[in-house]
Structure formats: structure tokens, C-alpha cells
Structure 1
Amino acid sequence: MLILPVEPHHIPALSRLAADTFTETFGHLYPPEDLDAFLVKSYAPDVLARETTDPAQFWRIVFDRENAVAYLHCGPVGLPHPDADPTREGELKRLYVHSSQQGKGLGKRLLVLAQDWMTDTYGSAAQWIGVWSENHKAQALYAAHGYERVGEYQFPVGRTLDDEFILRRVPR
């Protein structure tokens, strides 16, 4: 497995991987028009090209031989919580592992990489994650790494609103 910073030539692979992993994980929850609108808004190559060149963002893509199989995105916290401070705290915004690679420890490895980046960037400030309320597997992983539920909000996917939990961890 190669974990690499996202570079411009990775954008097509990242776009496909992001759309594929979101769809395989959550696609069954949405009407097709909501899913399609979200995928274009969030994972189109031009959108990702802009986001991955923002120096405040941290992106990694994982390759198994020639195939992109996972990715990670962190940056300043943007969750709607009154204590969240984007000037001094970070957020794990996206962590997706293709189903063919799940159960091999890759998600945990990427989570630790995200935590290390947030600690290096923001010191001992709080680290945040938003997670779908029914994603119990991810919630268990995050809890095992010190994240606690501190709020909730609704995340729009097209016209559909998902119930999400806000998790926070304060490094020791």
C-alpha cells in the first residue's frame, strides 16, 4: 500500500474513488437525483482539484498497486458546533476505504495519520469528526481512539437530510 499526498495527476482516480466509496457506503439511502447531485457537487474533478490545492487542507490517497483504494481529508473544523473553532482546531472531514480493502486495518492507519496531522497542525486543541448516526462501525473506531459524541446536526445530500453525530477528541 502506498499512502501519497494527492497531486494533480491523482484527481481522476480520487474523483472515481470518492464517488464509488460514497455510493457503496451510502447510495442506498438516497433517491438517485439526490445522490447524483451530491456526487457532482462534492466529487467532480474540478471541485477536488480546487480543494486538494488549498494549503489548509490535508489530503492523502492510498494505492494498492495501480488502484486507488482509500483516501483521507482533514482541515480546519467546519462542523456546526458552538465550541468548534476553525482558527485553532482540526476536523477529519473524510475517510473512506473501498469495501475490497476493509477489515485490514487501513481505516485505523488513516485515522492515526489524520490525528497526527491535526496534532502537528493544531497542537493539543480539540479534533472533530462528523459521522452518520447509523454508521456504527465508524463510530466504534472513533470511540476506540478517544472521540466522544458532543452534538448532532443534519447533513444535506441533495434534498435529503442525514442525521449526523458530532464527535470530539482532546489529545492528551
Structure 2
Amino acid sequence: MAIQIKVINDLEVKKLQKLSLQTFNDTFSAQNTPENMEAYVSEAFQLTKLAAELQRPDSTFFFIYTEDQLAGYLKVNIDQAQTEDIAENALEIERIYVDKAFKGQGLGKRLIAKAITIAQEKNKSSVWLGVWEKNEPALGFYKKLGFQQVTSHSFWMGDDEQTDLIMVKTLK
């Protein structure tokens, strides 16, 4: 199976938006109201916002392809682009999503490995991410890969205050 991970460029912002909306809805719509989902995605995945995020020097987006089919994406942040100051000298995985049609093929592991490689290249000592406390498949996945919960924070899905668990993986 030919798997490729490629940096997303500015011209691919509409493709990024479409995949973001699709994977976010697939992941969270069953456990959230349509109103709260719409309130969140209409803000988080606006074309202008995504285009601005693509321009940030300390953020990088990647598409993952399998057999030339777009299967998911990853967003990593370092330094000032991180959404929170969780760990010293860390890289943040802000978004990691695999299209439901491609789950179970090891693509999530490949994206995590990509993030770890970037962290190591930039001499970071850890990688961290936030994951919704009710997203059991993701929690199990991250734990299996050596991430440990260190704290939590509030995440607003529309008017619903939810809890994200903050998980860190220390690098050798």
C-alpha cells in the first residue's frame, strides 16, 4: 500500500476545509447537537481562518494519502503557535483526523510518527495533544502509543462546555 504524507500548501485550503468538516462531523456529530456542531465548525473551519493557519510559520499541516486517495490530515504547532503552554520544549498535535473509510489501516500511527519525527528534528523533548474525554477510541489509541494524561481543560462545542484530556508523550 503506497502511503504518502505531504505538506499542505495554500492552494489546497478548500480541500483542507472539506476534509476538516467531513472528519470532524464523522467523529463528533453523534454525541453533540446539530446546533453546537454548526456553531463550532462554522468558526473553526472558515476558509479565511484555515488560510491564515496555513500561513503561520510555527504551524504545519499535512495530508496523508493512501494509493493516491486523500485519507486524512495532521496539524502540528511549535513555539508561539501552540494553543497552550503545556510542556516545556514541546510540539503540539492540534488536529489529527483520518477519514472513516480509511480507519484501521495504520494511518493514524503514521501521522503520529510524522509528528514525532518533526519534534525530534526540532529538538523537542515531548509531543502533546488534547482529546475529548468521551472519545474512547482516540484515548485508547494515544495511550497505546505512549501518551499519558497530565491535565485537562475546557473545550467549547457551541454552548456546551466539554473536557479535553491533555496527553503528553515524552521523547527520548
TM-score by length of 2: 0.88
Quick one: distance in 2 between partners of 1:30 and 1:144? Answer: 26
Corresponding residue SS for 1:13: helix
Contact 1:21 1:96 in 2 (8 A): yes
C-alpha deviation, 1:64, in angstroms = 4.4
Letter in 2 for 1:61: F
- Cα distance between partner residues in 2 of 1:91 and 1:124: 10
Size of the alignment, in residue pairs?
167
Q: Give the equivalent residue in structure 1 for 2:108.
A: 107
Match of 2:58 in 1: 56
Q: Bigger shift: 156-165 or 94-103?
A: 156-165
Alpha-carbon RMSD:
1.7
**Whole-Å separation in 1 of the counterparts to 2:84 and 2:150:** 11
User: Which one of 74, 77, 84 corresponds to residue 79 of structure 1?
Assistant: 84
Name structure 1 gaps, 5 residues minimum: none
User: One-letter code of the match for 2:153?
Assistant: Y
Map of 1:93-172 to 2, 5 A cutoff? Answer: 93-121=94-122, 123-172=123-172
1:63–1:69 contact (8 Å) kept in structure 2: yes
Which residue pairs with 2:37 in the alignment?
A: 35
Aligned in 2, Cα 1:126/1:62: closer, same or farther, shift over 3 Å?
A: closer
SS of the aligned residue for 1:134 comes to: coil
- Specify whether residues 54 and 80 from structure 1 end up closer, same or farther in structure 2 by C-alpha distance, changes over 3 A only: closer
Aligned-residue offset at 1:155: 0.7
Question: How high is the sequence identity, in percent, across the aligned residues?
Answer: 25
1:60-84 deviation digits (Å, cap 9, x = unpaired):
0123466532000010342365xx3
Q: Is the 8 A contact 1:2 1:62 kept in 2?
A: yes
Change (3 A) 1:64 1:93: same
Q: Contact 1:152 / 1:165 at 8 angstroms: preserved in 2?
A: yes
**Match in the other structure for 1:5:** 7
The verdict on how the C-alpha distance between 1:75 and 1:136 changes in structure 2, with shifts beyond 3 A counting, is same
Paired with 2:106 and 2:91, the residues of 1 have a C-alpha distance of 23
User: After the TM superposition, which parts of structure 1 deviate over 3 Å for at least 4 consecutive aligned residues?
Assistant: 63-67
Q: Secondary structure at the match of 1:19?
A: helix
CA contact (8 A) 1:62 1:71 kept: yes
Equivalent residue of 1:78, what SS?
A: coil
CA contact under 8 A between 1:124 and 1:170: conserved in structure 2? no
- Shift of the alpha carbon at 1:91? 0.8
- Between the aligned partners of 2:141 and 2:34, the Cα distance in structure 1 is 30
In 1, Cα distance between equivalents of 2:64 and 2:46: 19
